[in-house]
Structure 1
């Protein structure tokens, strides 16, 4: 089975993808660089926190037998245990889980293994096909709940998905693209490289010349586009449904970009209520310490920064921002449609 193409209206909208990344007023985008506790979101600075022990086994072991081989090439795969934890705690068997930026399909697979229905949208044709292959593998293993992969631009959700899905999802699980901050995998002289140097591969999303891909645009346009996606996803959520977003900060020229706080502000701008900011461990808990699972490039970066006098440490967790759609029917759903029709 191949991924379902977008309908004609969505194809028309895709021709204006670049315009669609800027539906949010510039003054609001500028505020996303600030701590969201300074914004209008009530209680954002006092969100409850919990720790998810999601790396007791390695990522390879978590995916073994459940994902096709091509999955490992994705530059920013979600840890399966993170998706599984969110699905277990925010949904019940038979409920619908949605991922508007599905990548290789981790949310789909973990939803089916947990006995939930699943719906996913993926922008890049290659990864939509890989997500579909992972979906078929789950079905071969006996997980036959209703599930679908749609190929299209998640910024066009109001036009991309049938009306039957509106207000149906109990949970949205997703992650923004990290673009140039991804590390990928390593090739050395003993493998693919003949010059004796260490090289990256599988560290870029699709075609880097595709400016419609949020992984290839600037920081503010990424935030703007992601806000639009959240507003559309709010229409898919049922009242009281949750959104779980895995996200981590990154550094540009040694300066920390607090992307988790900015994503909370994006959710607030999309009409969603922030309710938790959790810690999903990327390191194994062993007695009284954490065993980091850093990649070669993470370790190399830390070593070089320490040599320059900057006392950095390996990343051992990522944030999981939990948002919720209002219980009232005229909350976030109406906002998503309003932003679609009121860009001017």
Structure 2
């Protein structure tokens, strides 16, 4: 739905569709514990899978429900439902689905706000900058408001709950990219891997999902304005800083299933 553009950290539908197609079969169950506006669930039902999701923010949970209904009106054959709540309790909320999920597909929050939509008057950021749709939430209970160590701790509890929902041989897929905190590059994918392994999961693949476009045989970076601005300013200082053109796609399995 058009209102979905209000969410500042949407998963790319093409990534969700590729992962669901690769790791599930029609009729199987897909779970997203932090489903946002429901990209994972929508792509799942379009591919004939069933899906459940949780979303902390009531506003975005409502958008997920609307997007599922819209997908069904377009002929999607799968079924899906969303619950508004705290995903650290996902195993209890979806207790009837323990051992049923073929795939958990999600992405962690990157903080209380992201770059969202930006309009600038100049390339170097010297002109006025207008920002909108850049906040996840104003609710301090949202995991996105926590400092990085606390965010990872909460995400670990979510993954532990998801592990209980996985069937034998099931897969957890996480899309995540490095971030900058106070100008310093943080290996968030590496922290997510460590957190997932503490939750009882085992990394089997670390893949690259390109976020760039293709034009005339070349890559066109779709990095945000502020990513590009930071890269330009760093390069002017002689620093080898580039704007990221990919996300890491982490594939994990339950311990004992990785073989």
Q: Structure 2 length normalisation: TM-score? A: 0.92
Greater per-residue strand proportion: 2
1:158-186 CA deviation, whole Å, 9 max, x = no partner?
A: 3222x221111100000000015621002
> What is the RMSD computed on CA atoms of the aligned residues?
1.9
CA–CA distance in structure 2, aligned partners of residues 157 and 293 of structure 1: 34
Match of 1:238 in 2: 167
Whether the 8 Å contact between 1:240 and 1:326 is mirrored in structure 2 is: no
Match of 1:76 in 2: 9
Q: For structure 2, which runs of at least 5 residues remain unmatched after alignment? A: 122-126
Structure number with greater Rg is 1
| Alpha-carbon distance, 1:296 to partner | 2.3
Say whether 1:93 aligns with 2:18: no
Whether the 8 Å contact between 1:104 and 1:130 is mirrored in structure 2 is: yes
- CA 1:252 to 1:77, structure 2 compared with 1: closer, same or farther past 3 Å? same
Helix, strand or coil for the counterpart of 2:134?
coil
Match of 1:139 in 2: 72
**What are the equivalent positions in structure 2 for 1:298-313 lying under 5 Å apart?**
298-313=227-242
Tell me which of 93, 99, 104 is aligned to 1:160: 93
Whether the 8 Å contact between 2:30 and 2:105 is mirrored in structure 1 is: yes
Say whether 1:179 aligns with 2:111: yes
Whether the 8 Å contact between 1:122 and 1:152 is mirrored in structure 2 is: yes
CA–CA distance in structure 1, aligned partners of residues 22 and 256 of structure 2: 19
Whether the 8 Å contact between 1:188 and 1:199 is mirrored in structure 2 is: yes
CA–CA distance in structure 2, aligned partners of residues 271 and 121 of structure 1: 21
Whether the 8 Å contact between 2:211 and 2:221 is mirrored in structure 1 is: yes
Say whether 1:227 aligns with 2:156: yes
Say whether 1:108 aligns with 2:38: no
Match of 2:135 in 1: 204
Whether the 8 Å contact between 1:115 and 1:143 is mirrored in structure 2 is: yes
Question: Which has the higher relative contact order, 1 or 2, with Cα contacts under 8 A spaced 6 or more apart?
Answer: 1
CA–CA distance in structure 1, aligned partners of residues 10 and 106 of structure 2: 11
Q: When the two structures are aligned, how many residues end up with a matched partner?
A: 253
Q: Structure 1 length normalisation: TM-score? A: 0.70
**What are the equivalent positions in structure 2 for 1:268-287 lying under 5 Å apart?**
268-286=197-215
